[in-house]
Amino acid sequence: MDLKSHIRDIPDFPQPGILFRDITPLLANPTSMQYSIDLFAQQVAALQPDYIVGIESRGFMFGMPLAYKLGVGFAPVRKPGKLPAAVHSATYALEYGNDTLELHQDAFPAGSRVLIIDDLIATGGTAAATAALVTQTGSTVAGFGFVIELVALQGRAKLPEAPVTVLLQY
């Protein structure tokens, strides 16, 4: 299936100069939605994670169904002030602006193998900060998975050593 035909390009969102790769058409079509989750699950199964972490908010949309398919637990990485229990925090640079992410300190037992999922890797700052949060819990990053990689931004170079799975490259 041509998954790219289900990605919509929105120029100058959320600010001038950014070409936003919109995954909502991919999710709205049941065939492309199921196909993308099934393909994603096939490609990351060999990593044998104990947990999946999804990054707010589009990482939830792919991370949760993947966790369900792989039969592993899920933990959300969220924007500041959203998680109710004690958190670890990490601040990072985004393609547009700065932000902080948080993860519950007890999201998974120390020593877990954690697969980090988001819809898209641009500069890699978001995923690298999430990896730092996973490490702070005493767990290991088993890998990273993204629906889309913006190759020219070289986000992979910012990630710690771990397998990276992507479904689409631009």
Interface with ligand AMP (CB under 6 A):
18-21, 55, 58, 94-95, 118-126, 155
> What is the DSSP secondary-structure string of 112-144?
-EEEEEEEEESSSHHHHHHHHHHHHTT-EEEEE
Contact 137, 107 (CB under 8 A): yes
Which one of 8, 56, 78, 95 is the catalytic residue? 95
Using the minimum distance from each CB to ligand AMP, give the nearer residue, 103 or 121. Answer: 121
| Secondary structure (3-state) at 84 | coil
**Annotated catalytic residue 58:** yes
Residue 83 CB, shortest distance to ligand AMP, in Å, is 17
**Annotated catalytic residue 113:** no
Using the minimum distance from each CB to ligand AMP, give the nearer residue, 9 or 106. Answer: 9
Side by side, which strands form the sheet with 164-169? 73-77, 51-55, 113-121, 140-149, 164-169
Which one of 21, 58, 102, 149 is the catalytic residue? 58
Residue 93 CB, shortest distance to ligand AMP, in Å, is 7
Using the minimum distance from each CB to ligand AMP, give the nearer residue, 34 or 154. Answer: 154
**Inter-CA distances, 126 with 114, 118, 166, Å:** 16, 9, 16
Residues that are catalytic? 58, 95
